[in-house]
Amino acid sequence: MHKIATSGVDWNAIRKDFPILGEQAHGHPLIYFDSAATSQKPRAVLDTLRRYYEHENANVHRGLHELSSRATEAYEKSRQRVADYIGAASANEIVFTRGTTESINLVAQAWGEKFIREGDVILLTEMEHHSNLVPWQLLAKRTGARLRFVGVCDDGTLDLEQLPSLLTPEVKLFAFTHISNSLGTINPVAKLCEKAHAVGALTLVDAAQSAGHLPIDVQELGCDFLAFSGHKMCGPTGIGALYGRGEILDSMPPWHGGGEMIVSVTLEKSAFKKAPHRFEAGTPNIAGAIGLAAAIQYIEQIGRPAIFEHDSHLARYAAERLTELPGMRVFGPTEERGALVGFVMDTAHPHDLTTFADQYGLALRGGHHCNQPLMRRFGVSGTTRASFYFYNTTEEIDRMIEILDAAVRFFS
């Protein structure tokens, strides 16, 4: 019934690119529904990492030897690939970080310390991941700035009617997620950026859940910062990126000091490189950056429009089928949603459900998903989340429903 009409992509063939999908868990074929936590890695990325360490490994930007040149070239090419992937005007607008969390902390520290004053407001939303909340709490504490929050409607969308009263001239930054990691809500980024700019505020987009799933063009979206992680989009862990609009990055002081980010150093003081290297003290995650570029290349071969169509179809299909189960409450919008679905069941606590499912090889996630305020907003201590990527299938979702149905009978 739910045929995925698309794009001519052979999704079953794509599964073969992911060696781990052949694993068994507790004696059952693995069904991996936790890609919102971290995605699996295709062989192309694994091979790239191996090739780098076997043929190019050296430190970047400082050796005068052949291998260092190879490593530097590969590292900086990766920066360009990331820039192209998100439509940045220049590779200089891309800072490599450990991931979304570090990207946001970089902005909160380097930009925040310089531009945020007592009484300024940082506007967030109630659906932010802790990584886009705690750094701002820390900044507010250091500077005396205040935090405000856009509320979330019962259907999981942002309550945009609140915006006019919240988005006042005291707001210096509006930081919000592109796709909610608990609800699957896709926020109207371009519209939110436009409204923020109208009062002179900058914008930061948490693209952790979107960067690997749908096309992103920072210039079209009009955002000033955008943060994402490599490991949620087929890349290695420990690598991610911060996009910052050129003139804004250039106006920011360094945050970490050390080698690689300086032009000259005396015992008393230092002169710093320009962005992005100013923000990359110490030996960077060279292999990670190169692995991320390989992940981008892999994703681009499939195409993000096709991936988005596939993933959001899976999420809608799952949401629909889940409601067949008794005592089921599904969170998030029904119309348009990202590649995940969060739910609670009357009969079993999320942790019992997750433990039960795991025994059948089904990897779900149970808990608050680093969204404690949002869980409170919906009156639950946690949810069970099934999150998808392009290597998942409707057959796997059908199997999930069978397993959850067995859980209902077991626990009730």
Partner 1 sequence: MSPEIEELYQEVILDHSRRPRNFGDLPDAAVRVHGDNPACGDEIHLSVKFDGGGSLHDIKFTGHGCAISQASASLMTMKLKGKSRAEVMEMLDAFHHLVTDATNEAPKTLGDLRVMKGVRNFPQRVKCAMLAWRAVEQALEQGAGEATVSTEPT
**Beta strand 328-330 pairing with 340-345:** antiparallel
Letter for the amino acid at 239? Answer: I
Q: How far apart are CA 211 and CA 229, in angstroms?
A: 8
The active-site residue, picked from 153, 223, 234, 370, is: 370
Element (H, E) at 377: helix 372-377
Q: How many CB atoms are closer than 10 A to CB 154? A: 9
Residue among 16, 67, 247, 410 that touches partner 1 (CB under 8 A): 410
78: which residues sit within 8 A by CB, 6+ positions away? 289, 290, 292, 293
111 binds partner 1 (CB under 8 A): no
* Per-residue binder mask for partner 1 (CB under 8 A), 295-334, x = binder: ----------------------------------------
Q: What spatial distance separates the first Cα and last Cα of the chain, rounded to whole Å?
A: 31
Q: How far apart are CA 251 and CA 188, in angstroms?
A: 28
- In angstroms, give the least distance from the CB of 393 to partner 1: 24
Q: How far, in whole angstroms, is CA 40 from its chain's centroid?
A: 14
- In angstroms, give the least distance from the CB of 132 to partner 1: 19
Give the DSSP letter string of 16-58: TT-GGGG-EETTEE-EE-BTTT-----HHHHHHHHHHHHHT-S
Q: How far apart are CA 134 and CA 138, in angstroms?
A: 6
CA distances, 34 to each of 93, 196, 214 (Å): 31, 33, 18
- In angstroms, give the least distance from the CB of 351 to partner 1: 4
Strand locations in 169-239 (E):
171-177, 202-206, 225-229
Q: How far apart are CA 225 and CA 245, in angstroms?
A: 7
343 binds partner 1 (CB under 8 A): no
Roughly what angle, to the nearest 10 degrees, separates helices 43-55 and 66-85? 150
188 binds partner 1 (CB under 8 A): no
* Per-residue binder mask for partner 1 (CB under 8 A), 6-45, x = binder: --------------------xx------------------
Can you tell me which residue has the tokens 């291998």? 67
348 binds partner 1 (CB under 8 A): yes
Element (H, E) at 292: helix 286-302
Residue among 233, 350, 389, 397 that touches partner 1 (CB under 8 A): 350
Tell me whether residue 228 or residue 360 sits nearer to partner 1 (CB atom).
360
Q: Give the range of 85-93, 113-121, 284-292, 374-382 binding partner 1 by CB under 8 A.
A: 374-382
368 binds partner 1 (CB under 8 A): yes
84 binds partner 1 (CB under 8 A): no
Q: How many residues does the chain have?
A: 412
Residue among 87, 147, 352, 393 that touches partner 1 (CB under 8 A): 352
Tell me whether residue 53 or residue 410 sits nearer to partner 1 (CB atom).
410
**Beta strand 121-125 pairing with 171-177:** parallel
Q: How far apart are CA 50 and CA 57, in angstroms?
A: 10
Q: Give the range of 185-193, 259-267, 354-362, 391-399 binding partner 1 by CB under 8 A.
A: 354-362
- Dihedral (CA of 158, 162, 164, 169) sign: negative
148 binds partner 1 (CB under 8 A): no
Tell me whether residue 195 or residue 349 sits nearer to partner 1 (CB atom).
349
191 binds partner 1 (CB under 8 A): no
CB 182 within 8 A of CB 371: yes
Tell me whether residue 355 or residue 393 sits nearer to partner 1 (CB atom).
355
- In angstroms, give the least distance from the CB of 352 to partner 1: 5
382 binds partner 1 (CB under 8 A): yes
399 binds partner 1 (CB under 8 A): no
254 binds partner 1 (CB under 8 A): no
Residue among 69, 80, 355, 394 that touches partner 1 (CB under 8 A): 355
Residue 193 annotated to the active site:
no
- In angstroms, give the least distance from the CB of 267 to partner 1: 40
381 binds partner 1 (CB under 8 A): yes
In the complex, the residues that contact partner 1 under the rule CB under 8 A are 26-27, 348-352, 355-356, 359-360, 367-368, 375, 381-382, 410-411
Q: Which residues are annotated as catalytic? A: 370
